[in-house]
Amino acid sequence: MFEAFPMTLAVQNSSTVALTLTGTGTEADPSTVSATVIGSAITGKWGLWRGTQAEYNALGTYDANTLYFIPVVV
């Protein structure tokens, strides 16, 4: 038999990321953490790839100074 222990989650923002915690942490209302990039420290560092992972992998060359975010649709 397993026992559940109470757990508390908290988020802490940084100078470049604002975090939001929603939900009560129950099975019916799970906790979710969302992040929003803020400030100009990462301006020009991220690019959003619009396409599939396979298309991205087939590019062959990438901009070495850009971090690419490939969203996953569930």
Q: Residue 72: inside a domain, yes or no?
A: yes
Domain annotation covers residue 7: no
Domain enclosing residue 55, as ranges:
44-74
Q: What pLDDT, on the 0 to 100 scale, is given for residue 22?
A: 92
Whether 5 is covered by a domain: the verdict is no
Examine the domain organization and report whether 54 and 74 are in the same domain: yes
| pTM of the shown model | 0.47
Position 25 in a domain: yes
Does residue 72 share a domain with residue 50?
yes
- The string of pLDDT tens digits covering residues 5-49 is 777 888 898 888 889 999 988 889 988 988 887 877 666 666 666
Asked if the model's pLDDT at residue 1 lies above 60, the reply is no
- Residues 16-38 as b or e (16 or more Cβ within 10 Å = b): eeeeeeeeeeeeeeeeeeeeeee
Q: Are 51 and 71 in contact (CB under 8 A)?
A: no
53 or 49, which is more confident? 53
